[in-house]
Structure 1
Amino acid sequence: MILFPDGGWPPHGVETLPWRQQMRGGTREDRMLQTVDATVPPLIADVDYEPALEIITASEEALLAVAQADAGASRRSSALSRFLIRTESVASSKIERITASAEDFARAIAGNRGNSSAVSMVAASRALHQMVTAVGERGVFESGDLLDAHHSLMQDDPLEARYAGRVRDMQNWVGGSDHSPRDALHIPPAPERVSALLDDLLAYLNRDDVPVLVQASIAHAQFESIHPFTDGNGRIGRALVSASLRRRGAIRNGVIPMASGILARQGDYFAALGEYRSGDPAPLIALFVRSAHAAAIETAASVERIQSFPEEWSAGVRPRRGSAAATLLLAFFDNPVLNAAEIERLSGAKTAQAYAAIDRLAEAGVIREITGRKRDRVWGAADLLAELDDLDRRIQRRMI
């Protein structure tokens, strides 16, 4: 291992690159720009780091809370896993200023593409699930996990689809103008450095001798510094945190929606990424540890609440055993957003019986129609959609 003095962390270097991009728009200074100073992240595969005792203590407490929340989700794990992945993906998207209402998100889950932000959130859910599942089943990170997740995230994006699943071959930057990196907050390394830096990052991620949350936090910061894709780096980088926790066995049944905690402290988050690049990973680790703890506590409360829904719904509807209504109660728990065709298929009933069951569930307040249309209608499980929003809010409150 490479251990820096006083448990420090290597700072990023700087490389001056020629800048000859032809730009449309921008200021005269933008068009006159001839060079840019790009950061060069250090190689970290063999670097050791010793956080302060208070961070280690907080990390262990957070991991215990994470384990307790995850154990609670083991019953009905598939349904709860989907719920938690969606909560994490919505919050992660909001960090990138991609916002949509719960109902727009629900409509997008059902295939409605009317709200581009909601469609992007669904893509983020798909990418997160894909990465966490692949890494969890294999027990090791591979470069294809990042590329496949990025492809899932960006494949339907009208501007970025052609770059989906591809490491960038051009210079990018964070902040500043769309036309120029002149006032950028961060200029990542030159594209020809990216592949080697990603290989090094994967080697670090596959170590088992680093504290779990320390490893996940540093790996996230390193990924954001590399910024290997033209777009979608933030969401893929936060998905990487959940996949890292799954690989190390800290979670087994879902994810812990840490992005909600990060969302509440966005200013601290971006400042901590800057401090990481200066050679101090402690603020970022502390923020992720605090977010994990807050998310775990509130997730445990949501899991307990959600697991009571089927019994509560059944008590309100009082369906006959084996009826279409009884079947759909369970179907909406597993899939909280369903269209008419899915309802008819899952209920196993004729069309008239299926719609009678839908009316019964709607009258009891279990579900509600969320399109407001007479054709191509979609229904959502009211309690589950409300809980998705409420969990996000509670985690954010705990972080303030």
Structure 2
Amino acid sequence: MRQSDVAPHLRQHLVPVDGKPNVRAMVAPPTPRALPAGSGSPALAHAASQALGRLIGAMEGWINPDILTRTLVRREAVQSSQIEGTKTDLDELLTYEATWSADGLPPDVRTTQHYVEALQYGLDAVRSGGRAALDCTLVRQIHAMLMEHENVPKGTYRDIQAWIGTGRIEDASFVPAPPADIDACMRDLERNMLRYARREDEQGELTVLAQMAIAHAQFETIHPFNDGNGRTGRILMPLILAAEGLPPLYLSGMLMRNRSGYYSALKQVQLQGKWGPWIDMTYRAVLEAAGECVSLADDLRAIGRAWSDATSGYRSHSVVRRLPELLIEQPVVTANTVAALLDVSLVAASKGINELMTIGILKAKDQRTWGRSFHASEIIDRLNKAPATPR
């Protein structure tokens, strides 16, 4: 990172790096509490806000608003982890959770499962404690859960100089703050954005969508941990929504499909102080995620109705009639999990699974590779389908 790469008004935040006289690091500027003039398209901001409002309205008519919760959290874990290079897909994660065996699965399936645990932990914390729960302590706890099986410090800020790039620090595309400055930067982020509340002397109030965009970019600029910063930072966005009692939209799918643009937009914030591209990308991701959530709920209900018709000839209390509804939330099962979910014998669970395989609702994976797991492929295929591009 050369000084010439940094906009003149940001150079005051450059500091020397110990032992590297020709290298400067960027101490994150104070967290902005208002968007700079011209940052983000007002039309996109309005459209994203309307899309979120439509989702809230649609959810009010859902018999079970949590029908998507389990699978969407897991899809987010897969997609956010894939941005960092993991190979686990949704089917593999669900298989691991159903069998708790990694045999035949990618080695990083455990890493993705830790993301599920960390995201769910954060959601539970902010849903019970609101914005007050969204603090540096929670961020460190989430990081520790994310990195449980990684050979890096967990839940503690880095004590070494980091840089973005694969070569020498002198050739880095970005050099974040030295370790001594991290705590102050994180406390500033906590005070001004994670726990954001409008002040009496402020003319306007940041929308919650702008808040989560700023929080993520600021966190990535601080880069407080040795590893796992991207995943931790992406978790902050749905947590801010959930802390306000809003649906926690998951944006990693859009960011993954536009990875180079995502990194470029963050770099423009970090080096040029240009927030527009990143703010607009966030709005587009919200548009996509909100629309996809409504579309997905409609499609899953349609699948459920088709399954109900296909099993209508069976007794109402049979496994064949009762299990399909649960498969929408948990599309990979074993005979043991079915027996536990429906409180039936293992024999009854196995018989019901076989009937559902005959009907075509369940499919068995290769026993030698996967273990005896059964997959509702229609659900998984729909979850893996790329959303329609919002207009």
TM-score by length of 2: 0.86
- Counterpart of 1:292, as a letter, is V
> Which residue pairs with 2:214 in the alignment?
218
Q: Is the 8 A contact 2:182 2:222 kept in 1?
A: yes
**1:121-146: CA deviation from partner (whole Å, max 9, x where unpaired):** 22222222222331232111122221
Alpha-carbon offset, residue 40 of structure 1: 0.8
1:72 equivalent to 2:58? Answer yes
Give 5+ residue unaligned stretches, structure 1. Answer: 1-7, 20-32
Q: Distance in 1 between matches of 2:369 and 2:243?
A: 46
SS in 2 for 1:100: coil
CA contact 1:174–1:186 (8 Å) conserved in 2: yes
**In 1, distance between residues paired with 2:47 and 2:79?**
23
Residue 303 (structure 1) aligned with residue 297 (structure 2): yes
- 1:299-328: CA deviation from partner (whole Å, max 9, x where unpaired): 211111112333221211233111122232
Task: Give CA deviations for 1:69-114 in whole Å, capped at 9, x if unaligned.
Answer: 3443453233311122222222212211222334322222322323
**1:167 and 2:157 matched:** yes
1:204–1:106 CA distance, 2 compared to 1 (3 A): same
Structure 2 residue identity aligned to 1:149: I
Structure 1 contact 72–303 (Cα < 8 Å) conserved: no
Larger displacement relative to structure 2 (365-374 or 353-362): 365-374
Superposed displacement of residue 213, structure 1: 1.5
CA distance in 1, matches of 2:37, 2:232: 25
CA contact (8 A) 1:153 1:232 kept: yes
> What are the residue-to-residue correspondences of 1:132-281 with 2, within 5 Å?
132-140=123-131, 141-157=134-150, 159-160=151-152, 163-177=153-167, 180-205=168-193, 206-208=195-197, 209-251=205-247, 255-277=248-270, 278-281=272-275
**Bigger Cα displacement from structure 2, 68-77 vs 320-329:** 68-77
Specify the SS of the correspondent of 2:375: strand
**Contact 2:55–2:290 (CA under 8 A) maintained in structure 1:** yes
Shift of residue 184, structure 1, vs aligned partner: 1.8
Which residue does the alignment assign to 1:389? 384
> Where do residues 76-87 of structure 1 align in structure 2 (5 Å cutoff)?
76-87=64-75
Residues 315-345 of structure 1 deviation map (CA, whole Å, 9 limit, x = unaligned): 1123311112223223322322222321121
Whether contact under 8 Å (2:84, 2:230) holds in the other structure is yes
After the TM superposition, which of the residue ranges 364-373 and 235-244 deviates more from structure 2? 364-373
Structure 2 distance, partners of 1:57, 1:9, is 30
Distance in 1, matches of 2:192 and 2:96, equals 36
- The match for 2:106 is 115
The residue number in structure 2 matching 1:94 is 82
| 1:9/1:125 CA distance change after superposition, 3 Å | farther
Contact 1:310–1:330 (CA under 8 A) maintained in structure 2: yes
Seen in structure 2, the aligned counterparts of structure 1 residues 164 and 53 have a Cα distance that, compared at 3 Å, is: closer
Following the alignment from structure 1 to structure 2, what is the Cα–Cα distance between the partners of residues 18 and 294? 44
TM-score normalised by the chain length of structure 1:
0.84
Partner residue of 2:16? Answer: 16
In the alignment, which residue of structure 2 is the partner of 1:42? 29
Question: 1:272-291 counterparts in 2 under 5 A?
Answer: 272-277=265-270, 278-291=272-285
| Paired residues of 1:9 and 1:49 also in contact (CA < 8 A) | no
Distance verdict in 2 for CA 1:182–1:263, change over 3 Å: same
Q: Distance in 1 between matches of 2:225 and 2:383?
A: 29
Percent identity, aligned pairs only, is 24
SS in 2 for 1:320: coil
- The alignment's C-alpha RMSD in Å is 2.5
SS at match of 1:167: coil
Residues in 2 aligned to 1:81 and 1:156: alpha-carbon distance in whole angstroms: 25
Deviation for aligned residue 1:386: 0.9
What amino acid is aligned across from residue 16 of structure 2 in structure 1? T
Contact 1:174 1:185 (8 Å CA) reproduced = yes
The alignment covers a number of residue pairs equal to 367
Question: Are the equivalent residues in 2 in contact too, given 1:368–1:382 (CA < 8 A)?
Answer: yes
Relative to structure 1, the CA distance from residue 35 to residue 369 in structure 2 (aligned partners, 3 Å threshold; closer, same or farther) is farther
Partners of 1:265 and 1:375 lie apart in 2 by 32
Q: 1:373–1:76: structure 2 CA closer, same or farther, 3 Å change rule?
A: farther
CA distance in 2, matches of 1:399, 1:39: 36
